[in-house]
Structure 1
């Protein structure tokens, strides 16, 4: 099981150390749960009965949550006794002292941005629940003599074997843009390539590799790095050299900064043109904005460039202009915070028929996503689901079923700190996910999954069970009329 935490790459050593300690404690607790209580509770259970196993796991976890609440309540009561009654004294606040500056207060209160929802606490040991559920699914596949992806599909479709299966399209990260770098662009966290559906996975991966090699060549070549052309025109190339090519990110791709979105996209276009490819025909782009990392809560606005801020409504207008100008961008991941529900609805109505508007950060806690038969997040085209913590296989089956019914796409994604286990690929294939977001084509834990996806493609093709994928956008503006789907992507040109 991958860790739940998301520690920035430039985090302080003490932060990394504290996170590592928390991770170790969680693993040790999870091992205790498995070796003791779960080992006894699950003994003699039929491993093909995933629902029963996950029900037992869910009840066990709920009891652990209650135990933790009781302990916290007792500790709080004990602390009150130790502290004694709180002292009452009044102090004037800075706002009271600065009462004359009422104009600024009014401007903030006119349209305040909703505060960030507090992060859900992660119960130590929760990895045992997700890990055990997945182990049972693997055991069920083994005793049924079928691969895990087919076993997952049978579980989702009530043991009805599908005649054909569609591979999820890979979302391959080629650039990781550091938001804390000296460069100005903050709006983009990941630049992701999506091959056309008409290509085989093998062909698509090879095409991505060719583009990645060309980008690397351009970045390593003097005068070709971001910012160099503009600087050279001003005669400043020697005085202010562009930042050097950075390391391979934890996402398995190059890490580098840019000064503007246009600079980034034009360089990608140039890299494709250099090898005879065209963005929007031979390859498509997705942009992970990770907007929750952009919000300046003092201003109530997003910082898209150094010193440049936009309100949520202005962000929507900016994205509309961006997609109209660069139609080869067919997906935006987290273009807004999950709290900006009104703006999510606006951007989906404006752009839903042209690209996917995908929620990732809002879906971190899978156990909190479902309410009755609905998904408790803002309007969106699709959701990135990650198999972490207390997530169970049954949870993914239920959630993807709801998303299918609501015409939202499912994306299975790797957590930041991924393991080398390949099960995520089988789950994505079996659940019928539209995309698989695995990061870049470097680092063993990510390459292993791409290799597994290639192996599944070969197996399905050999059995005559491989069905071609489709990319269809939902026209939210006409959602009152069911079935409003558009496939707007043209067939690729053969290079």
Structure 2
């Protein structure tokens, strides 16, 4: 039935204009037959949704979204400290759209809580301001018109930029050192350094009777602004996932292994129970954290709702409450000590490590939890931070020092007495390689050794270490995480830092996407930490609904496996 132009309504005229425009577009661009069939279906079967149909179809024909600009902002983390946030904007259908943002933790490598807080604060501000400058100036220009879905190319550009700045900083320092050395050579000493010679001979005599003390390895130089690299990399990855229309964990899995999208497992969540480190009120420095390790395969929220196995989060909360009750009613500890910190960890006023382990044991007995069967423990010893270089010994408690060999003997005693402890994290400095090997031999397979590889990812492996801890900080890109987790021998555990960033739940997606066996999210408190736990719950439920959640029987994590199999 033909239409008369004179009797056409405004709506019909608009319809014909769209049809004519589509036909013109077809003739000019030689659109394939699929579009011709689609237009025919539209005009004769779906005239009521002309605009929506055309918009959806032609959107698919638009150009690939490209990064239009980056923006950097100063934001605050969970502890009120400055952090740099990166925002990614892309051009989509000729319009600029804010795609995503990311702010990773700013780890400055300073763990000493007694350093001048004002100096640390000023240094952090300088790092963050430099990072924001990098984002809005050089990185913005470098990544403009870049495809946000090409993660490897973006990360390569970011790494090259970082290495160039690192080399510039190195050359500047070398020039300054050479200049200062040349000035010192001009000065002629008034008298020969006789006392220095005497000290050297004394050291030689001392070394003849005792084992030589291995000095500390030089710290990795931290380049101001480096956290801009990791923040931009993660923001670009989140943008790519949004463009591809998939969750971040599936996008990261596709980057790591494009052919492996049918099998996912949830990492075992290691939950921090209590702290005895330097920031705690007691004299004990040795145990920075005591960590709860659920049995492998135990779900975060128990999607299957098993009535026999307690939920990880519920179980941990009950255990912490029972420990607080014990401490509050004990004559040895005041009520003021039984309070969770802002990180969800119970700081305890202890002098010996046995006191912390006895507290957990008593709480488990009161709750009818079988410690060593239903749950296990890990001790984050923070050994590298305990060395007193003036005495060349570890200060495990205020005024209590032990040599590396004495510390190994103490660990052996603790492991033999508390069999539920199945992991030691950083029990010694990296420099004490002989003691690492000795410790591995004396504790056998009843306990594994874990080492933090974050600051020295390229360092040679330590003797006896079967697992590694990584943190997404500073200049580490998403591609770096993929590469390191693929190359490291043994199990890899992704951990959180003490300063939570504003990028709340990405750590959970990264851990699942990388296919890691364990993830350490900290204590059960603060919105930032609980967002990560809740994200794991959401991913777990989503995978279960899709039927691609791997069960414990199909995937058994390599660490602690033998211990768990013995009690089954």
Structure-1 separation of matches of 2:549 and 2:264: 5
Which range moved further: 214-223 or 387-396?
A: 214-223
| Aligned counterpart in structure 2 of residue 253 of structure 1, from 338, 345, 366 | 345
Determine if the alignment matches structure 1 residue 427 to structure 2 residue 502.
no
Change (3 A) 1:444 1:9: farther
- The 5 A counterparts of 1:277-426 are 277-351=369-443, 353-360=445-452, 363-365=453-455, 368-370=456-458, 376-403=461-488, 406=489, 408-421=490-503, 422-426=505-509
Is residue 341–residue 379 contact of structure 1 (8 Å, CA) maintained in 2? no
Change (3 A) 1:47 1:85: same
Larger radius of gyration: 2
| Aligned counterpart in structure 1 of residue 241 of structure 2, from 141, 148, 171 | 141
Post-superposition CA distance 1:287-341 (Å, at most 9, x none) = 1111112223233322334444333233333323322221111111111111112
Structure-2 separation of matches of 1:155 and 1:351: 39
Change (3 A) 1:44 1:492: farther
Runs of 5+ consecutive residues of structure 1 not aligned to the other structure = 229-240, 475-485
Post-superposition CA distance 1:81-130 (Å, at most 9, x none) = 777713334233277279789865544xx312311112212111111111
Change (3 A) 1:248 1:473: closer
Q: Which residue of 2 aligns with 1:480?
A: none
Is residue 6–residue 417 contact of structure 1 (8 Å, CA) maintained in 2? no
- The 5 A counterparts of 1:12-51 are 15-51=116-152
Kindly tell me the number of residue pairs found equivalent between the two proteins.
451
Structure-1 separation of matches of 2:329 and 2:112: 26
Cα offset, 1:183, TM superposition: 3.7
Structure-1 separation of matches of 2:293 and 2:392: 33
Q: Which residue of 2 aligns with 1:3?
A: 106
SS state of the match for residue 45, structure 1? Answer: coil
Q: Which residue of 2 aligns with 1:178?
A: 277
Structure-2 separation of matches of 1:9 and 1:248: 22
- The 5 A counterparts of 1:118-133 are 118-133=218-233
Structure number with higher relative contact order (C-alpha < 8 Å, ≥ 6 residues apart): 1
Q: Which residue of 1 aligns with 2:261?
A: 162
Structure-2 separation of matches of 1:465 and 1:47: 28
- The 5 A counterparts of 1:224-235 are 228=332
Is residue 268–residue 297 contact of structure 2 (8 Å, CA) maintained in 1? no
Is residue 196–residue 204 contact of structure 1 (8 Å, CA) maintained in 2? no
Post-superposition CA distance 1:47-95 (Å, at most 9, x none) = 2221111111111111111222333344446656777713334233277
SS state of the match for residue 480, structure 2? Answer: helix
Cα offset, 1:214, TM superposition: 0.8
Q: Which residue of 1 aligns with 2:57?
A: none
Is residue 420–residue 446 contact of structure 1 (8 Å, CA) maintained in 2? no
SS state of the match for residue 563, structure 2? Answer: coil
Post-superposition CA distance 1:375-405 (Å, at most 9, x none) = 55554111111111110111111111112xx
Post-superposition CA distance 1:194-231 (Å, at most 9, x none) = 111242212111111110111111122243xxxx3xxx
SS state of the match for residue 193, structure 1? Answer: strand
Structure-2 separation of matches of 1:65 and 1:339: 25
Change (3 A) 1:254 1:163: same
Change (3 A) 1:173 1:97: closer
Is residue 195–residue 208 contact of structure 1 (8 Å, CA) maintained in 2? no
Determine if the alignment matches structure 1 residue 219 to structure 2 residue 327.
yes
Cα offset, 1:182, TM superposition: 6.6
Cα offset, 1:437, TM superposition: 1.3
SS state of the match for residue 437, structure 1? Answer: strand
Structure-1 separation of matches of 2:167 and 2:202: 49
Instruction: Give the structure-1-normalised TM-score.
Output: 0.83
Structure-2 separation of matches of 1:243 and 1:294: 29
Structure-2 separation of matches of 1:73 and 1:310: 38
Change (3 A) 1:176 1:125: same
SS state of the match for residue 493, structure 2? Answer: strand
Q: Which residue of 1 aligns with 2:193?
A: 91
Post-superposition CA distance 1:415-472 (Å, at most 9, x none) = 2212131211111111122211121101222122111111111111111121235243
| Aligned counterpart in structure 2 of residue 152 of structure 1, from 252, 255, 265 | 252
Q: Which residue of 1 aligns with 2:96?
A: none
Q: Which residue of 2 aligns with 1:472?
A: 558
Change (3 A) 1:447 1:316: same
Change (3 A) 1:68 1:472: closer
Structure-2 separation of matches of 1:302 and 1:11: 17
Structure-2 separation of matches of 1:281 and 1:163: 32
Post-superposition CA distance 1:131-165 (Å, at most 9, x none) = 111111111111111111111111111x1133221
Determine if the alignment matches structure 1 residue 209 to structure 2 residue 317.
yes
Q: Which residue of 2 aligns with 1:482?
A: none
Is residue 173–residue 251 contact of structure 1 (8 Å, CA) maintained in 2? no
Q: What's the C-alpha RMSD, in Å, of the aligned pairs?
A: 2.8
